[in-house]
Amino acid sequence: MPLDDLPSPEEILSDDENSEALDSLIVDERDRILIAHVAKLEEQQHEAKQIGIVYGARHMRNTMRFLMQELNYRVVKAEWVKVFDL
């Protein structure tokens, strides 16, 4: 399921009071765990590495925001890889 880095009009229109709580649990909490692991890797960095993150596209919104705003990363190349089909 492809997703852009911003919510689609359909996502915005389908939001209700329950979707926010569910998103917080499924997306935000999982993203916090991922970001904590990425931050820990950054602290331990002694040499250049390539790190792959296999997460759903929607999780990459928060992850990219963290990498770019908090760690000052910049995008030089991007490639979406389909890991599996549902």
**Which residue's structure tokens are 């599996």?**
84
Domain count, the chain: 1
Q: Identify the residue with better confidence: 17 or 3.
A: 17
In a domain, 77, yes or no: no
The answer, yes or no, to whether residue 3 has pLDDT greater than 80, is: no
User: What are the contacts of 8-17 at 24+ separation with CB within 8 A?
Assistant: none
Instruction: Compute the average pLDDT of residues 24-50.
Output: 83
pTM: 0.59
Supply the range of the domain harboring residue 13.
9-70
The answer, yes or no, to whether residue 1 has pLDDT greater than 60, is: no
Exposed, middle or buried, 39 (CB in 10 Å: 0-12/13-18/19+)?
A: middle
In a domain, 82, yes or no: no
